Structures are given as structure tokens and as C-alpha cells.
């Protein structure tokens, strides 16, 4: 049976030296909305003062070294402003990278598969003429976030936009499932996301600008039999993001939870679910990415692109949770 919600990509090039690797390109991409180019040179004070204008422009003012922050630079050179995207190599993550490449000059791409990351970096350089830095990390492993934060600092990057997209789903009855895989799911979907926010949000708040986009799901609004831990993990992301939104708003930091419904990715065909009714209600990953970046620029708390996602989120307020669990069970229950 087709899954109610798609798992995000957990996957995830430098031809030179440096921590994590990087692909460099000359010339900055045009600036629009929220992001400004961060090629290591400070953006003018005039642009900084204009940061309160609409869109994402205000999130990227100018690089400011801060002692004790995870993204403080390790050299005397001004840090390069960047957007850091986890789970960057496929599906929603890849499209978010393309949208951000239109807005800023430097991207930090994070995933598990170096080959796919380098392929993506090359594509972004060719299409958008941006600088890209590649970092390999497996967030199912404790300590991965600390290692990544150190690598970002060593690369002299200042994270102004953090996109927490890495995550995965596990479709199995809980009592019959692998505890090891359930732990890895919670570690990746929740613990790593929280740690990444803790690594970079303090610097954003101290500087008075920045943005955090956490990829949740409509799954976070209903119980999910047969994908119980995945649904619960997305409920955490949605609730955590809502609280963070309120805490950081007075400091000029935008926080948005992206809560899509079914998104059309190769997952559907791989699961032999391309012809199902649910698959026909999917929306495209580029549409989701565009909506997410707009919502972050406006500092919207929730972004629920597509009619189906809006219906689920709105309907969850009125439908008893027991009924919602029954409906989700019917969609999620594996074939025997």
C-alpha cells in the first residue's frame, strides 16, 4: 500500500583541499528576496539596513564573527555567508538547493553520499554560478552534528540559512520492527535537527538575522499506525519549530516548519505506487521548494503546500484522533 507521507532524503565536490571539500565558481548569483550573496566579502551596511524589507533579503545582512558560536570563523578573513542544506541530494532537498542557489552565493551541501553531493554541487555551479561546499555526514550517528559544525567553522562559513531536510521513514508494525532502525530514525529526524538548530541559532539571534527551515510533514498532525515512529518524529519537528518560531522572532530570526503532503519523487515508482489514487494527488518537489522559500522569507510559522496538505492540517483540528488513526492505518497497513 502506498505510504501516506514520503520519507525525506538522508543521502548525503571539491577538486582541491579543505575540510569536507568544495567546488568553487566565480561571480555571484542574483540576490532576490531573503538571501544575499556570501562570497567571503562583507555586504554593504546599506544592504544590511534594508534587511527589514520583505522577503529573505533581511536574513543575510553581513558576516559577523562571534566568539563561542559554532559558526564563528577560524581565520582572520570575513566568513562567507551560506545556506546549509541537509539531505541535499534528492527530492525536496535537491529542489531547495536549486531555489536557494537563485538567492545566495554560497551553499553548504550535506548528505551521506559524497558522489551524489559532488554531482549536485557541479550541477548547481553550472546552472547558477554559485560557490558550493560539500560535507559528508550521517546524522544517525551520535556526534555527527558536532563534527559538521567544526567542519563548517574550519571552512570559514557563517550559516545564515539552515535547512533541516535530512530524515527518513520506516514502514513496519512497531512490535515487529528493528529497534536499531527506530533509534536511527529518531536520531536523524529529531535529535540531529535539534542539535543543528542549537549549533547555529545562537549566532543568528546574536547577529539579529537568519532563517531556519525545518522539514516536517502533515504526518506530524495525525497518528500513524505502521509508521508510528516516523509520524511521531514529525510531530516533534512541527511542535519544536512552532516554539522556536516564537522564541527567535524578537531576535530577527525566521523559523518555518514545512509540512508537505505526498510529494512526487522517484519514491513512488520505486515502491510500485505510481498508479495509486494517492500518488495522483501528489505535488511536485519544485512547487514545494518554491512555497517553502517564500514562507521562510515571510516568516510564516507553517508552510503546507498543496490542497491535500492544507485539508489534512485543517481537518486534523476537528477529526477525533482515534478516527484519524483509523484512516491512517488503512492507508499505511502493509500488504500481506
Work out the number of other CB atoms within 10 angstroms of the CB of residue 336: 3
Predicted confidence at residue 325, as pLDDT, reads 54
If you search the block for the grid coordinates 546524522, which residue do you land on? 139
Predicted confidence at residue 17, as pLDDT, reads 34
Give the catalytic positions in this structure.
Answer: 230, 234
What is the arithmetic mean of pLDDT over 275-296? 79
Alpha-carbon dihedral of residues 289, 293, 295, 299, nearest 10 degrees? 150
Where is 46: in which H helix or E strand? helix 45-49
Encode burial over 317-335: b for 16+ CB neighbours within 10 A, e otherwise.
eebeeeebbebbeebbeee
Beta strands in 67-187 (DSSP E): 80-86, 106-111, 131-136, 157-164
If you search the block for the grid coordinates 514529525, which residue do you land on? 234
Domains along the chain with CATH numbers = 22-332 (3.40.50.720)
The confidence band for 83, taking pLDDT boundaries of 50, 70 and 90, is very high
Encode burial over 229-242: b for 16+ CB neighbours within 10 A, e otherwise.
bbbbbbbbbbebbb
Instruction: Quote the CA–CA distance of 323 and 282 in Å, as a whole number.
Output: 23
Beta strands in 26-176 (DSSP E): 80-86, 106-111, 131-136, 157-164
pTM above 0.85, yes or no: no
The DSSP code for 35 is B
**pLDDT digits over 150-164, tens only?**
999 999 999 999 999
CA atoms within 13 A on the CB side of 215: 35
**pLDDT digits over 4-38, tens only?**
333 343 333 333 333 344 333 333 333 333 444 33
Which residues contact residue 69 at a Cβ distance below 8 angstroms, ignoring those fewer than 6 apart? 200, 202, 203, 206
User: Which residues, listed in sequence order, are joined to residue 84 by a DSSP beta bridge?
Assistant: 108, 162
**pLDDT digits over 161-205, tens only?**
999 999 988 888 889 999 999 999 999 999 999 999 999 999 999
Which residues contact residue 210 at a Cβ distance below 8 angstroms, ignoring those fewer than 6 apart? 59, 159, 160, 161, 162, 200, 201, 203, 204, 252, 253, 254
Beta strands in 39-100 (DSSP E): 80-86
The confidence band for 306, taking pLDDT boundaries of 50, 70 and 90, is confident
Amino acid at each position: 500500500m502506498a505510504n501516506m507521507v514520503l520519507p525525506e532524503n538522508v543521502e548525503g565536490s571539491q577538486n582541491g583541499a579543505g575540510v569536507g571539500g568544495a567546488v568553487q565558481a566565480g561571480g555571484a548569483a542574483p540576490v532576490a528576496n531573503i538571501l544575499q550573496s556570501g562570497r567571503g566579502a562583507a555586504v554593504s551596511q546599506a544592504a544590511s539596513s534594508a534587511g527589514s524589507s520583505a522577503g529573505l533579503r533581511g536574513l543575510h545582512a553581513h558576516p559577523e564573527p562571534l566568539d563561542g558560536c559554532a559558526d564563528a570563523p577560524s581565520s582572520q578573513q570575513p566568513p562567507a555567508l551560506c545556506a546549509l542544506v541537509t539531505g541535499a541530494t534528492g527530492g525536496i532537498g535537491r529542489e531547495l538547493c536549486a531555489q536557494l542557489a537563485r538567492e545566495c552565493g554560497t551553499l553548504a551541501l550535506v548528505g551521506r553520499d559524497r558522489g551524489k553531493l559532488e554531482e549536485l554541487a557541479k550541477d548547481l555551479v553550472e546552472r547558477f554560478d554559485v560557490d558550493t561546499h560539500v560535507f559528508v555526514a550521517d546524522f544517525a550517528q551520535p556526534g555527527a552534528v558536532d563534527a559538521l559544525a567544526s567542519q563548517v567553522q574550519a571552512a570559514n562559513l557563517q550559516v545564515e540559512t539552515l535547512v533541516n531536510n535530512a530524515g527518513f521513514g520506516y514502514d513496519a508494525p512497531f512490535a515487529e520492527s528493528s529497534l536499531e532502525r527506530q533509534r536511527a530514525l529518531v536520531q536523524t529526524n529529531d535529535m540531529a535537527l535539534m542539535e543543528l538548530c542549537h549549533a547555529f541559532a545562537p549566532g543568528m539571534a546574536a547577529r539579529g538575522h537568519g532563517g531556519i527551515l525545518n522539514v516536517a510533514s502533515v504526518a506530524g498532525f495525525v497518528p500513524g499506525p505502521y509508521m508510528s515512529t516516523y509520524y511521531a518524529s514529525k510531530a516533534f519537528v512541527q511542535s519544536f519549530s512552532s516554539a522556536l518560531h516564537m522564541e527567535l522572532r524578537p531576535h530577527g530570526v525566521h523559523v518555518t516548519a514545512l509540512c508537505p503532503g505526498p510529494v512526487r519523487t522517484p519514491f513512488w515508482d520505486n515502491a510500485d505506487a505510481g498508479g495509486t489514487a494517492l500518488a495522483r494527488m501528489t505535488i511536485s518537489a519544485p512547487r514545494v521548494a518554491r512555497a517553502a522559500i517564500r514562507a521562510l522569507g515571510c516568516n510564516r510559522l507553517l508552510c503546507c503546500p498543496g490542497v491535500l496538505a492544507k485539508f489534512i492540517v485543517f481537518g486534523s483540528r476537528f477529526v477525533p484522533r482515534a478516527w484519524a488513526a483509523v484512516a491512517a492505518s488503512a492507508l499505511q497497513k502493509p500488504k500481506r
